[in-house]
Structure 1
Amino acid sequence: MRLNDLEINPSTQKLEIDIMEKNSSFMIVVSNGKARMTELPVHGETKIITHQGKVKRVKWDVGEEF
């Protein structure tokens, strides 16, 4: 699975991420009290599908240069 769960500190309700550890572009999606992270493709689209204000799925359309 491309989405990785992130821990939200239950006592402070904060999410801490060291962005200097990441070597590529990434996105974080927060919905319904959960946080998940994924790397973005080099060439392609990443779509976030929502329903009633909540994230239902994330779709990737990845291509490769010819």
Structure 2
Amino acid sequence: MRLKPVPVEIEKGKINVDIDLEEGKTPFIVVYCQGEAKITFLPEHGETKVVTHQGKVKRVKFDEGEDF
């Protein structure tokens, strides 16, 4: 799975994100819904869509491609 859980401190209202910059994937997104947060790195070429349903995150879709 591409989405990895991120610890959330509900009391302070803060999300601390530890990232490994050695992966070389600097663009990333953090998705938060109902007390749960997840992180994923964005593809080099493509689209990442966050799909919601009734005010909640339903899924994250990846559509990748490569320049010819």
Structure 1-normalised TM-score?
Answer: 0.85
Residue 55 of structure 2 corresponds to residue 62 of structure 1 = no
Q: Distance in 2 between matches of 1:62 and 1:50?
A: 20
Amino acid at match of 1:12: K
Distance in 1, Cα, partners of 2:34 & 2:47: 24
Structure 2: runs of 5+ lacking an equivalent: none
Match of 2:39 in 1: 37
After TM superposition, the score normalised by the length of structure 2 is 0.83
Unaligned runs of 5+ in 1: none
**Aligned residues: CA RMSD:** 1.6
Percent of pairs identical after alignment?
Answer: 49
- Out of 4, 27, 30, the position equivalent to 1:28 is 30
| Matched AA of 1:35 | A
1:59 is paired with a residue whose SS is strand
Shift of 1:17: 2.0
AA matched with 2:64: V
Matched, 1:5 2:15: no
Q: How many residues align?
A: 65
